[in-house]
Amino acid sequence: MSTADQFNVDVSTLNRFVMANTRDPDLVILMNAIATSCKLITSAVQRAGVGNLYGLAGEVNSTGDDQKKLDVMSNDMMINALVNSGVCCVLVSEENEEPIMVPKELSGKYCVAFDPLDGSSNIDCNVSVGTIFSVYEKREGSDGTVEDLLRSGAECLCAGYVAYSSACELVFTFKGKSVHGFCLDPTIGEFVHTRPNMMFPQDGGKKIYSCNEGNSNYWDKPIQDAVAAFNQGPKPYSARYVGSMVADIHRTLLYGGIYIYPADNKSPKGKLRCLYEGIPMAMIIEQAGGIASTGLFEGKIQRVLELTPDEIHCKCPIIMGGPRDIGVVYEQYKKAGIETPEL
Ligand code: AHG
Ligand code: MN
Ligand code: MN
């Protein structure tokens, strides 16, 4: 066996992949800035215990959640990298009530919305967390305002997430293209292309349902009935719920099954945020061949990607999976006389 067989001498990195798949140098710079901040975040997450980074920062974020020290650090890492990339004009972060306007001398054409640390309730017990982002291009003639981000999910140009777990893994897609996964190789400090053309399992994959069943008393009847249906029969579904959206969606994409965070009578818009949780995950799931629905939301069942956020921190319900399992949910809506889309 030659040395080259034992050691990869031709590594396909994220940077190389992005350069090969866009003619826009600004997009290369942007993805590089996102990747750099995620390397910083994974380093902080891994050192959280020894670095005294567990616990609260003492502030409350845009949605009223207590901010953890790592939420604040991750947010600063993303903002610093994106502002200084020179290719962004407006940023929206879960951790900032107001949008961040990039100073004129550093301003570029991209608008980025992000959840710097998703699943932060899991930080202190060392369970998987993540980062989620969506990218838009400012409209012609605009200097970059929130209006450039308050657009239909169908106009999102690039969406991705990073899972900080036993490995650090970045998954992203450009609009209309396939979904790709990259694992951080800590020995070279680069994201390496490990999962080309990620596809949702054709047959629906493993029979798994994933939701916070503690909310079941608040759900509408079709959702309660769908989860009851998953629990019935000779081979009921398995329940899996990490409580970090990135981890739950990553597993759903790879193994199959269904992820549900529906609207309920306590939270009529659901819990998850449209701009930096719902839309980017919906784009990835759909472009990998899955379905991303709102379930019954404001009187009808909608595609998440057809939603237009009315404010930067607005919420939307999420039901994501393959046709086999989304069909189980739609069946219950049909029984309740609600019009359901074709699968
Ligand atoms: P974040 O930590 O960014 O606020 O997001 C938490 C979200 C999401 O990651 C997760 O799936 C969901 O909240 C969990 O909510 P419950 O604790 O209500 O199940
Ligand atoms: Mn989140
Ligand atoms: Mn978060």
Q: Residue whose CA is closest, atom 7 of ligand 1?
A: 119
Ligand 2 centroid–CA 332 distance in Å is: 28
- By the CB criterion, residues less than 5 angstroms from ion ligand 3 are 94, 115, 117-118
Looking at the predicted structure, is the pLDDT value of residue 6 above 90? no
**What are the residue numbers of the active site?**
65, 71, 94-95, 115, 117-118, 277
Whether residue 148 has its Cβ less than 6 Å from ligand 1: no
Atom of ligand 1 nearest to the CA of 117: 3
| pLDDT value at residue 66 | 84
Looking at the predicted structure, is the pLDDT value of residue 62 above 90? no
Grade residue 3 by pLDDT with cuts at 50, 70 and 90.
Answer: low
Please tell me the number of the ligand nearest to residue 264's CA: 1
| pLDDT value at residue 7 | 86
Atom of ligand 1 nearest to the CA of 244: 9
Whether residue 65 has its Cβ less than 6 Å from ligand 1: yes
In angstroms, rounded to a whole number, what is the distance separating the alpha carbons of residues 169 and 171? 7
> Could you tell me the strand order of the sheet in which 168-174 lies?
100-101, 88-93, 107-118, 129-137, 158-164, 168-174, 179-185, 190-198
Number of Cβ atoms within 10 Å of the Cβ of 215: 17
Ligand 3 centroid–CA 95 distance in Å is: 7
Atom of ligand 1 nearest to the CA of 119: 2
For residue 302, how far is the Cα from the chain centroid? 19
In angstroms, rounded to a whole number, what is the distance separating the alpha carbons of residues 167 and 163? 8
Residue 28, classified by CB atoms within 10 Å of its CB into exposed (0-12), middle (13-18) or buried (19+), is middle
Whether residue 286 has its Cβ less than 6 Å from ligand 1: no
State the amino acid at position 222 in one-letter form: P
- Which two tokens mark 302? 């909608």
Query: Would you say 335 and 223 are in contact if contact means Cβ atoms under 8 Å apart?
Result: no
Looking at the predicted structure, is the pLDDT value of residue 202 above 70? yes
| pLDDT value at residue 78 | 98
In angstroms, rounded to a whole number, what is the distance separating the alpha carbons of residues 86 and 109? 9
Looking at the predicted structure, is the pLDDT value of residue 2 above 80? no
Ligand 1 centroid–CA 260 distance in Å is: 12
Grade residue 58 by pLDDT with cuts at 50, 70 and 90.
Answer: confident
| pLDDT value at residue 57 | 86
Model pTM above 0.85: yes
Looking at the predicted structure, is the pLDDT value of residue 48 above 80? yes
In angstroms, rounded to a whole number, what is the distance separating the alpha carbons of residues 71 and 305? 27
Percentage helix, strand, coil for the chain under 3-state DSSP, each rounded to 5: 35, 30, 35
Q: What is the mean pLDDT of residues 58-76?
A: 90
CA distances from 119 to 65, 67, 220, 228 (A): 12, 12, 25, 26
Report the sign of the C-alpha dihedral through residues 78, 148, 275, 178, in that order: negative
Ligand 2 centroid–CA 66 distance in Å is: 13
Helices of type H across the chain: 3-6, 14-21, 25-46, 69-85, 221-230, 245-255, 279-287, 323-335
Please tell me the number of the ligand nearest to residue 249's CA: 1
Tell me what the pLDDT averaged over the chain comes to.
96
Q: Residue whose CA is closest, atom 16 of ligand 1?
A: 243
- By the CB criterion, residues less than 5 angstroms from ion ligand 2 are 115, 118
Whether residue 287 has its Cβ less than 6 Å from ligand 1: no
Whether residue 93 has its Cβ less than 6 Å from ligand 1: no
Query: Would you say 131 and 38 are in contact if contact means Cβ atoms under 8 Å apart?
Result: yes
